[in-house]
Amino acid sequence: MLKSKKDNIAEYILYLWQMEDYLRAFPQQADATPELQEIKEMMHREGLIESGHLQLAKNALSELEELHTSLLNEDAMYRAAIIRLQPSLNLLKAKTDRPTMSDIEASLTLLYQIMLLRIQKREITPATTDVQQRATQVLTFLSRAYRDVK
């Protein structure tokens, strides 16, 4: 059974992205656990063997984006956190092949890329760590709000 998104939807999305990459790098490991096997089967059904994200991840991201939009209108603290993060997200988006991606997808992408840098034991600058903390704050707020709604 796949991890549940109820506890922390942002971690759930990052976990799915990580498993997708893992199975692309080590397809022979798909039989290691029933969960990996299930993810690999979904990737095959959805034609995602070489790239792309599972519909489960896309749906969860869409739910987070809807909540984000709602909170921007309803919660001044959340809106302030996004405003502090916005310049960094704009820089990140400008450096990608998808400059129109949503702020939430950009935040998740940022955290995923930092995770990959840590796995590779690469240096992470203090400026990157600062942006990571701000993105984590936003995604933690969103995940808690999601858990409260669900």
The tens digit of pLDDT for each residue in 94-142 reads: 998 899 999 999 999 999 999 999 999 999 999 999 999 999 999 999 9
Q: How many CB atoms lie within 10 A of CB 137?
A: 16
User: What percentage of residues in the chain have a pLDDT greater than 90?
Assistant: 85
Between CA 10 and CA 60 the distance in angstroms is 8
**Backbone angles phi and psi of 34, in degrees to 5:** -60, -35
Between CA 127 and CA 115 the distance in angstroms is 15
Rounded to an integer, the average pLDDT of 8-20 is 95
Closest listed residue to residue 99, CA positions, set 108, 90, 86, 107:
90
The angle, 0 to 180 degrees and rounded to 10, between the axes of the packed helices 55-74 and 126-149 is 90
Contacts of 89-96 with C-beta under 8 Å, sequence gap 24+, read 89/135
Rounded to an integer, the average pLDDT of 66-81 is 96
Residue boundaries of the structural domains of the chain: 9-149
